[in-house]
Amino acid sequence: MNIGCIGAYAEFLKLKKEEEIMGLMDGAAWEKEFGVEDKNILEQASEIVDGGDREKSYGTPYSNMKHIADIFNSITGHNLSASDVAILNLAQKLSREQYTHKEDNLIDLAGYSYVYNECKKNEEK
């Protein structure tokens, strides 16, 4: 068995065990045990974009979008701004949502709306 197969099999066993546990617990007990909460789309988006681990890894939303714009501009010779990159991310999520509805698309749309606003505020300084 190669490494990829071993990893896939381990993941399968993990999911199988989770399903067995879920079958033994009602929804409230599952949420309490594993910290799963029923949060709305805006709350989920806020947790993703508002500081935390993501900011430690990638910088502020503005600095991350600015960095992406700088890389794109140096490759293509264009002059996109950080807010332009945020708009492109919004367009990507709208396109995906048009193709197939997924709640994750809506969470990301809310998050990128926040990021766009942060970019505009920084660009207006």
Q: pLDDT above 90 covers what percent of the chain?
A: 52
Give the pLDDT of residue 79.
97
Q: Give the domain extent around 109.
A: 39-125
How many independent structural domains does the chain possess?
Answer: 2
Residues 48 and 93 in one domain: yes
> For the chain, how long is the longest CA-to-CA vector?
58
Residues 63 and 4 in one domain: no
Residues 65 and 22 in one domain: no
Q: Which CB contacts under 8 angstroms, 24+ apart, belong to 74-81? A: 81/119, 81/123
Give the pLDDT of residue 15.
57
| Token couple for 84 | 């332009």
Q: pLDDT above 70 covers what percent of the chain?
A: 69
Residues 22 and 83 in one domain: no
Residues 26 and 49 in one domain: no
Q: Is the pLDDT at 75 greater than 90, yes or no?
A: yes
Among 42-51, 53-62, 109-118, top mean pLDDT goes to 109-118
pLDDT digits (tens, 9 = 90+) for 2-57: 455 555 555 555 555 555 555 555 555 545 555 555 788 888 888 888 767 888 88
Q: Confirm if 54 and 120 have CB atoms less than 8 A apart.
A: no
Residue whose C-alpha is closest to residue 54's, from 110, 111, 123: 111
